[in-house]
Amino acid sequence: MSLTIDDLNSLQIDVLREIGNIGAGNAATALSKMISKRIDMDVPKVNILEFKNVAELVGGPEVEVVGIYFKVTGDITGSIMFLLDKQSSKLLTNLLMGMEDTTDTLSEMEFSALQEVGNILAGSYLSSLSSLTGLKLIVSIPSLALDMAGAIISVPVILFGQVGDKVMLIETDFCEGTNHVKGNFFLIPDEESFEILLKSLGVV
């Protein structure tokens, strides 16, 4: 039997937090370069939650958010989810494309730009994780949805339903100072991958 969520000790959780730190640090740097703005990043959190509490993590199940979802395959499997509230996604596309679009909707072009941002962030997160661990990691193409946070976050969470009653999400919050673009970045390794991931860093 491989390592499960309940088996994780505090050292292992610290290591997972550090993975979030390094991965998200690289992703934040990439985002900062892309929009030529300073990006602040919080200390990552390792959230171990029951399913019914997951939506609270993202501000409540009904908040309208943009979710950019990636599947991770290779030596470990899991998901990456980049969440932005609707206002932040609008601000971010304006910054990226040098526009002042004040409409309430997001155009095809803006969706496409957000997917590309997601792509770059997920790529830099995973490549740093890959060089740290020596594991081979492959990220899928992005898939984007603008909808209720609960509905969006349920997608990676369902995978955990097959193995247990809790989910673990490594979360890092970003904030762009002057324009208040706020986002959350989640790395959600599948439970079967915990052991491989931790072993690669010598803590199993």
Partner 1 sequence: MADLIKVGMADLNTVCFPGVLTTLGLGSCVGICLYDSTTKIAGMAHIMLPSSQQIKNNSNIAKFADTGIVKLLEDMLQIGAKRNKIVAKLAGGAQMFNFNDSSDIMRIGARNVSATKESLKALNIPIIAEDTGGNYGRTIELYSDSGILLIKTIGYGTKQI
Residue ranges binding partner 1 (CB under 8 A): 50-55, 60-62, 64, 67, 69, 71, 140-141, 143-152, 154-155, 157-159, 161-165
Q: How far is the CB of 131 from partner 1 (least distance, A)?
A: 27
Q: How far apart are the C-alpha atoms of 31 and 122, rounded to whole Å?
A: 11
Q: How far is the CB of 127 from partner 1 (least distance, A)?
A: 21
Between 69 and 194, name the residue whose CB sits nearer to partner 1.
69
Q: How far apart are the C-alpha atoms of 179 and 114, rounded to whole Å?
A: 16
Q: How far is the CB of 3 from partner 1 (least distance, A)?
A: 14
Between 36 and 52, name the residue whose CB sits nearer to partner 1.
52
Tokens encoding 81: 């989810």
Q: How far apart are the C-alpha atoms of 152 and 146, rounded to whole Å?
A: 8
Between 159 and 204, name the residue whose CB sits nearer to partner 1.
159
What residues does 67 pair with on adjacent strands? 83, 145
Q: How far is the CB of 143 from partner 1 (least distance, A)?
A: 4
Between 8 and 146, name the residue whose CB sits nearer to partner 1.
146
Tokens encoding 186: 């989640």
Q: How far apart are the C-alpha atoms of 138 and 70, rounded to whole Å?
A: 10
Q: How far is the CB of 106 from partner 1 (least distance, A)?
A: 11
Residue 196 parent element (H or E): helix 194-200
Between 160 and 174, name the residue whose CB sits nearer to partner 1.
160
Judged on CB neighbours under 10 Å (0-12, 13-18, 19+), 72 is buried
Maximum separation of any 2 CA atoms in the chain, in Å: 55
